[in-house]
Structure 1
């Protein structure tokens, strides 16, 4: 197993290497921006899907809606640009909200982001597989298996370390950027020269057209706001950049915004002038085919789209473990989340994210449109809390920072705009599935608080005065005996080193075999009498525990030490050939108060 782990994950890295596991700006763009960049591949389609409910004529509103989303994108980006300078240690919305707004707003932001990261993996991978099935329809029935395989590859890649995951995932990200920008540039050129023909294939109207209302337009806007997911990722991972971390993070954030908005508006514009409508084939695939035809460039661009959509999940794999480690360090998630693995990454968080997102993919059968209604609610809530927290931060810093009012106005604008968008998304998508996230966020916050209460209670139980004197305690020693062999002999020898009062106990499930054992015991004579406890129902642990309870009451001692002989086979598969009674007994005694369990391993040679 160790060899397999080394093959998949790589050799362990020394702790001193942590400072060298930093990302250059180009690699950081690939790692932290793949979610935001990939969202342009389906954001246009989500706008069109909603507008098309009112008929083909309503699709003319796609460009105004896209421009509104692009403006919102820049507002959010410049708000977060201030955050990376104000909080260079990272942590993003959770740290900002908790530091400035209080505990509950901070935990709410943390819960919203963690939920959104899980959804990001499920949506991104499902969208990437949709790009594959658009190009190769025969693979559509296998979409769930392909999606789970993609998640497994992402987990393995991220377990290898931050820098190595950047090396692995940079090429696909830049393939998508170059191929998509090329497609847009050529498409705009062909449109300007009159060589880009609109799609003329007949499209059936919606079965029951709905009126084009303000509410429907807001729904389209809310769906298209999926383009903003992942915007906060860089502010969460500032410490992954080379020094100066804030400046490099800010530069990467601006480049991400410019690239994402350019591609989003370009795809929406081309879909509009081509007269494209939502079909089984994705919108970006239709644009791609209209510009490049069905030749090699189409498949290269479609491959880049598939890769970026799958690797968009890598943004979550970069940020979910970091955020979980910070929340875990504060005692609101299991402390194991804050532990770094062999490759200096937060391995537990990576594995947990892989498991949760895989469950979502299986439950929703890898269908992007089933997952999208759950999407973006949490991220806009975290945007709003973060920007509101930054306003408080600048107010508190007004004596040290002469430009505090300008900074506060920028973040205040961001807070108001994202707050309005959050309400719009929550209302327009509520019945479509957003209610699940709205319910999950407070449930997750409740879980955070329950975990913290547990840790506080444990700390209270463990607290000790430095004046407390350590005194020895009396104890009795119990050695369970199944038979007479070398493992039992070694266990008896060790038990005798712990104290003089030893009780050897045999639980009898076969009277005839028990009589033979008693005769052998008397002949062997280890210096300790053998007590036989009958077990008419053939249970081993229950009668032994009851015997220990009675013995402890009889002897009037506080502690009992149970010394257990345990076979250790030479090969892992040989464990399956033994009944593991020692492990079952340890499990039964583990929760018994005032009981020390000592395992004496006997290593088998064959």
Structure 2
């Protein structure tokens, strides 16, 4: 019988699923730009294999071969070595400096190989210096110096890479139907590329690596093809060289009138050191792999180490090849009276492939890939700047927002901040590569030196548990000495060209980091539960409902106020004395359980009378919390808000600074077809004891 009775009961209908709200037009637009969001469980799928990690973390270093030789030739050519009578010294010094840079690169790669295995979870210069170099007077100083130098260098990398890429595009002989591109508008094109790179990285690290891989590998292939044909093509394949595109004299007039011709006999050590400092721009970006170990697939340190080696081999071989072709073809690069010669790689590729004829498409491919990788080289900074910022934020040296992961599992705030700083730098320097280069490399060699010195200390601390620690410490010590000497050279040679700005900016950033850290430490002490004593008396609460006039939104706010406290008051600021009696009449008609307080405002101000009333309540009941309820109606269209006053927003802003006040905003959404519902307000009309009603003036 019980079973029959049970079966006769009607089953409870299942709850219908509530359809998700339709996203706004702005959210749909953002979804199209950035793609669908990724859940935290998909973090593993965003990690990079070596094939994608190489273009992501090495594009900066590899792309530097496009301007490193060029910067060496700029110094040597300015000394007059480009003329025919000095050609032997021109070739000798260029190859000598390039070889020294490649040797330095090998030392740095070997040093960072040790760093990657010593810090398999990420061994950036900041972490290594912070953990191992701890002077007594300020233990975190070396780490903060390394972090500041790296952050500055990342911003400069974006600016230099993009400006250099646009410079290569500017030298392209565009056909008439492409003349409208106007690549001579450097700043506008640089800002456009910064915006595109920012957007690409906001879509996710793996997606940006997939998009950029084709350009990085395309550039490497075209460089090797150009070097191979330039070195062996004429002898073994009868390849024709178009030497007219590597002119020895870009100047009008005789050799004696050419800039620098009178200084041929004054070559000295300082000139060579200056050329070496310029060429060391090829070293920037080599630390990016060790900084980005967490982004690699497992085994992380193994994959990162071999990616570093591949990067070093590619960078060193292409740099040597381009310098050899430059001196073999007697390529000249100069800057004079606001004009510059075509980029060195443009002259070399034009000589090898020809700018006209059957193989001109190879020249075009080289230039397009060169411009692309120079622009995309900034992607290395977009990968490392946000990651380093997040680590600093985790250690309380930068705002905590820098450690927040966005919808695409990337550090969105760091990406946006880097794009903004790079854009400002481009505008300041007018997109001029030669004006940006002097600021370059000082930051990265500061980080190099501190990191390698820190690794020496690291291996010494582990001498009892690590075999062969002496060999490891030797390589890192050699790297510290070599990069330290280069750092000193850069300071001496580049300070008079504007690099002193970087030297001044580093201590300023260190000071800001320290102030942020002090703030977070003070907040932590104030919020700690140590020695916390709960209040002995229960907290009392007075609720004030601000009433501009009486409408449905105010009635809803009153409902909320009654639910949180029995001690409720309505407050109206009398700005228009003619409207106040009408409000009182309607109040007595509709509300019977909440007293209405009228605050006179002879000067028609809204905020000051409320503040004075709050002070009076605080004096009357010092241990009572005051909750201010602000009713606000929300119109159906966003633009309708501009047709109404913003008094609620001004009140909330004014009340934010008061310790004794809790502000609650009760919003009432307007619906055009909504009708009155007397039953809903029936309880408001019920008579209550007289002492709970009335108007207080």
SS at match of 2:182: helix
* Aligned-residue offset at 1:393: 0.8
The reply to whether residue 365 of structure 1 matches residue 430 of structure 2 is: yes
Distance 1:208 1:536 in 2: 83
Tell me, which stretches of 5 or more residues in structure 2 are unaligned? 1-25, 135-139, 252-257, 334-339, 673-697
The reply to whether residue 245 of structure 1 matches residue 310 of structure 2 is: no
SS at match of 1:429: helix
- Compared CA separation, residues 259 and 496, structure 1 to 2 (3 A): same
* Aligned-residue offset at 1:201: 5.3
- Is the Cα contact below 8 Å between 1:93 and 1:382 reproduced in 2? yes
Distance 1:32 1:380 in 2: 18
Range with greater deviation from structure 2 (244-253 or 4-13): 4-13
Residue from 208, 219, 228 that aligns with 1:185? 228
Distance 1:126 1:538 in 2: 57
* Aligned-residue offset at 1:197: 5.5
Residues 333-482 of structure 1 correspond to what in structure 2 (within 5 A)? 333-465=398-530, 468-469=533-534, 472-482=538-548
Residue from 373, 378, 388 that aligns with 1:308? 373
- Compared CA separation, residues 449 and 522, structure 1 to 2 (3 A): same
Distance 1:537 1:146 in 2: 54
Residue from 250, 274, 277 that aligns with 1:222? 277
Question: 1:81 corresponds to which residue?
Answer: 113
Residue from 569, 577, 587 that aligns with 2:653? 587
- Compared CA separation, residues 288 and 465, structure 1 to 2 (3 A): same
- Compared CA separation, residues 523 and 144, structure 1 to 2 (3 A): same
- Is the Cα contact below 8 Å between 1:95 and 1:106 reproduced in 2? yes
Distance 1:280 1:291 in 2: 18
Distance 1:261 1:88 in 2: 25
- Is the Cα contact below 8 Å between 1:476 and 1:557 reproduced in 2? no
- Is the Cα contact below 8 Å between 1:222 and 1:424 reproduced in 2? yes
The reply to whether residue 196 of structure 1 matches residue 196 of structure 2 is: no
- Compared CA separation, residues 518 and 21, structure 1 to 2 (3 A): same
Distance 1:514 1:368 in 2: 69
Q: Which has the higher helix share?
A: 1
* Aligned-residue offset at 1:408: 0.5
Residue from 556, 569, 574 that aligns with 2:622? 556
* Aligned-residue offset at 1:481: 1.5
Question: Structure 1 residue runs of 4+, over 6 Å off?
Answer: none
SS at match of 1:511: coil
Residues 57-76 of structure 1 correspond to what in structure 2 (within 5 A)? 57=86, 59-60=90-91, 61-76=93-108
Tell me, which stretches of 5 or more residues in structure 1 are unaligned? none
Distance 2:106 2:366 in 1: 26
- Is the Cα contact below 8 Å between 2:628 and 2:663 reproduced in 1? yes
- Is the Cα contact below 8 Å between 1:475 and 1:557 reproduced in 2? no
- Is the Cα contact below 8 Å between 1:94 and 1:107 reproduced in 2? yes
- Is the Cα contact below 8 Å between 1:91 and 1:323 reproduced in 2? no
Q: CA RMSD in A?
A: 2.0
Distance 1:141 1:539 in 2: 56
* Aligned-residue offset at 1:207: 6.6
Distance 1:542 1:216 in 2: 70
SS at match of 2:331: coil
Question: 1:118 corresponds to which residue?
Answer: 155
Distance 1:316 1:233 in 2: 8
Aligned length: 606
- Compared CA separation, residues 467 and 111, structure 1 to 2 (3 A): closer
- Compared CA separation, residues 46 and 567, structure 1 to 2 (3 A): farther
TM-score between both structures, scaled by the size of structure 1: 0.96
Distance 1:537 1:147 in 2: 54
Distance 2:210 2:496 in 1: 42
Question: 1:513 corresponds to which residue?
Answer: 579
Residue from 575, 581, 599 that aligns with 2:665? 599
